[in-house]
Structures are given as C-alpha cells and as structure tokens.
Amino acid sequence: MTLYAAYGTNLDPRRMSERCPHSPLRSTGWLTGWRLTFGGEELGWDGALVTLVEDPIEQVFVALYDVTPEDEVVLDEWEMASTGLYRKTRVRVAGMTGEVLAWTYVLDAYEGGLPSALYLGTLAEAAEAADAPADYVTGLRNRPCRSIGP
C-alpha cells in the first residue's frame, strides 16, 4: 500500500470508500508549505479546478489513506492522471505522530480562475466530513466563486 494525501473532494471518507473500497482512512494532517488554489478554468466543466501550489507560509488540511495498488489505478482514472490533467507528486504531511511521506495530485495547468459555488460547497462538505477545523471549512465556503448567469 502507498499513502495518499487527499485535499479535495476525496477528503470525504464516505466518497473515498465508494471510489477506493480497499483503501482505508489512516489519519488527517497538514501539508505545510503548500496552498490550496484553483486553476485550469478552461479545462473544468464548471469553473476552475482545485489544486495545490508551493507556498512557504501556508498549509492545507489533508486526509491520509492507505491506498492499494488496485485502488490507485481507479483513483488515477478518477483524477484523470492518465490524460495529464493531474500529475502525482510526493509530499511531506505533518500528522499527530510526526511527518510522513505521501503522494497527491497536482493540476497540470496554470493557477487562476474561479470555481463554481457548487464545487466550493462540495469541497467544504468534504473537509467537514474529514473533521477539518471549523475555520478551515469556513475559509473554503468564503472563497470567491464564479457568478451565475450572463
């Protein structure tokens, strides 16, 4: 098994158990030196897509999953890694028991653009389901988003 750091919709343990039924949640932690952002607005069907960029003063809440090789293939397909939309990268996650190495997905597109309100709500609900701190969830809910209509 390999350790996967989820920061987007895969933060939600229920969603992950549907996508990767053999890959249990191990713990949660913080990806220090990275910032949650959005990019590839032209690539998403509903606005910009969530991603990470390095930022020495920021941190991102993550859920750590022990991913089986079979589930990793499914997750790669789900995250469209085979198409080049997202690429895998190795990261260090600060957890309750110290630092661990894991992999995560990073959007292979320029930073910028706004996500939809629906997408932001889904991300906030996933963070809430993973027991992210209330201020982190509120920060997601209060991010700027695309306006609806002409």
Instruction: Verify whether residue 79 is a known catalytic residue.
Output: yes
The residue annotated as part of the active site, out of 18, 42, 77, 79, is 79
Residues 6+ apart with CB under 8 A from 43: 49, 85, 109
Handedness of CA 135, 136, 137, 140 (dihedral sign): positive
CA pseudo-torsion sign 100, 102, 108, 113: negative
119 marked among binding-site residues: yes
- Catalytic (active-site) positions: 79
Binding site feature residues: 119
Binding site feature residues for substrate: 119
